[in-house]
Amino acid sequence: GAGVSQTPSNKVTEKGKYVELRCDPISGHTALYWYRQSLGQGPEFLIYFQGTGAADDSGLPNDRFFAVRPEGSVSTLKIQRTERGDSAMYLCASSLMDGREQYFGPGTRLTVT
Amino acid sequence: AQSVSQHNHHVILSEAASLELGCNYSYGGTVNLFWYVQYPGQHLQLLLKYFSGDPLVKGIKGFEAEFIKSKFSFNLRKPSVQWSDTAEYFCAVLGGRGSTLGRLYFGRGTQLTVWP
């Protein structure tokens, strides 16, 4: 079946602009996760949803970052007033339920100039 | 918070050599353990997982890992590597004291290069 998909695959934006990154999980997966990966590092947790609600948002670095999952399927990660330090690969994953193995999408490469 | 250490950052082997990649985590309790692999130009893929039961788990492509609770370790092994195993390998831990059920903690990864 179809895996996790993320759009766009690449996003270049100017410092100070607003961006939205989209994630489509595997059909039927109730849990959805966002991670951020910088070069030479492992993915770092940002937030995860069980259904429509954020079960753990403790990884969001500051209040410029926000994520939603209004219908319990697609999720959008929103970054306001982007900074050059936000440049990274943003990964989305989903799982059948939380506590189970997570399946990752291809990521969105965000570059802030 | 939970942390995961992968001590080998870059491993270079010849084909048919044996592989062992180390992974240690900091907090015990009930943990679920994973190895993920990222082949060049591809996204993260699950290689194997441990939830409970036999501490020696087998994954895809001939990989296996052993959970040693007393050592907080989950090392990855393969008896004979192939050129196609060239990739980056990430150890990840779910759970442990103070952690939620959804938050995966990753090590920084080990780049494996296999020469033909």
Q: Which residue of B has its CA nearest to A94?
A: B102
Question: Is the sign of the CA dihedral B67, B68, B70, B72 positive or negative?
Answer: negative
Domain of residue B48, residue span: 4-115
Contact state of B104 with A56 under an 8 Å Cβ cutoff: no
3-state secondary structure of B97: coil
Query: Would you tell me which residues 54-113 of chain A have a C-beta closer than 8 angstroms to some C-beta of chain B?
Result: 55-56, 58-59, 91, 93, 95, 98-99, 101-107
Q: Which residue of B has its CA nearest to A46?
A: B103
Q: Average pLDDT of each block of 10 consecutive residues along chain A (113 residues)?
A: 92 98 96 95 95 92 97 96 98 90 96 98
Q: Cβ(A102)–Cβ(A30) under 8 Å?
A: no
Work out the end-to-end distance of chain B between its first and last CA atoms, rounded to an integer number of angstroms: 41
Supply the pLDDT for residue B13.
97
- Residue A108 makes CB contacts below 8 A (sequence gap 6+) with A6, A7, A8, A9, A10, A11, A21, A89, A90
* Rounded Cα distance, B77 and B21, in Å: 7
Number of domains in chain A: 1
Q: What is the CATH number of the domain that holds A78?
A: 2.60.40.10
When pLDDT is averaged across residues B110-116 and rounded to a whole number, the result is 96
Supply the pLDDT for residue A17.
98
Supply the pLDDT for residue B98.
60
User: What is the bridge-based pairing of β-strands A108-112 and A10-13?
Assistant: parallel
Q: Which residue of A has its CA nearest to B30?
A: A99
Number of domains in chain B: 1
* Rounded Cα distance, B85 and B91, in Å: 16
Residues of A in Cβ contact (< 8 Å) with B107: 42
Supply the pLDDT for residue B99.
65
* Rounded Cα distance, B70 and B91, in Å: 18
* Rounded Cα distance, A14 and B12, in Å: 39
* Rounded Cα distance, A91 and A88, in Å: 9
Residues of A in Cβ contact (< 8 Å) with B36: 104
Average pLDDT, chain B: 92
Supply the pLDDT for residue B48.
95
The residue among A101, A48, A75 whose CA lies nearest residue B44 is A101
The residue among A14, A31, A24 whose CA lies nearest residue A75 is A24
pLDDT digits 0-9 by tens, B81-111: 999 999 999 999 987 666 677 889 999 999 9
Contact state of A98 with B101 under an 8 Å Cβ cutoff: yes
Mutation for testing the A interface, residue in B104, B106, B111 having most A CBs under 10 Å: B104
Q: How many CB pairs under 8 A join A and B?
A: 63
Q: Which residue of B has its CA nearest to A101?
A: B49
pLDDT digits 0-9 by tens, A88-105: 999 999 999 877 899 999
Contact state of B90 with A55 under an 8 Å Cβ cutoff: no
Q: What is the CATH number of the domain that holds B14?
A: 2.60.40.10
